[in-house]
């Protein structure tokens, strides 16, 4: 069956508390940074990211969302990482 709405999806890679893993399933590439952070936060709390044990306290306040569109053989991908800005 043909999809009525084409959704541009991406995988999400997360680094937290010394662990790194990908969110299970892809998400909408066009989701806002706040939406993505909320999904990541929930996944970290519940321990549903393979490779990252459940986290009792999750703080993504100063994390940033990097988005990379699909390019050649590489799929669209999103990274949730700490900011690295110095003043």
Nearest distance, CB of residue 32 and other proteins, angstroms: 18
Q: Say how far apart CA 63 and CA 80 lie, in whole Å.
A: 7
Query: Taking the complex as a whole, how short is the minimal distance between the CB of residue 17 and other proteins, in angstroms?
Result: 4
- Does 67 participate in binding other proteins (rule CB under 8 A)? no
Query: Please, which of residues 44-63 interact with other proteins by CB under 8 A?
Result: 59, 61-63
The interface region with other proteins, picked from 3-11, 24-32, 34-42, 78-86 by CB under 8 A, is: 78-86
- Dihedral over alpha carbons 58, 24, 51, 69 (to 10 degrees): -90
44 by DSSP, 3-state: which?
Answer: helix
State whether residue 70 is helix, strand or coil: coil
- Measured distance CA(25)–CA(23) in Å, rounded: 6
Under rule CB under 8 A, residue 19 binds other proteins: yes
What does the binding site for other proteins look like in residue numbers (CB under 8 A)? 15-20, 59, 61-64, 66, 79, 81-87
């Amino acid at each position: 069956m043909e999809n009525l709405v084409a959704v541009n999806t991406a995988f999400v890679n997360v680094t937290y508390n010394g662990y790194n893993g990908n969110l299970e399933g892809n998400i909408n590439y066009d989701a806002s940074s706040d939406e993505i952070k909320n999904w990541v936060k929930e996944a970290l709390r519940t321990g549903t990211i393979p490779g990252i044990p459940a986290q009792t306290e999750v703080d993504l306040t100063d994390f940033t969302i990097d988005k990379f569109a699909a390019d050649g053989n590489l799929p669209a991908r999103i990274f949730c990482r700490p900011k690295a800005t110095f003043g």
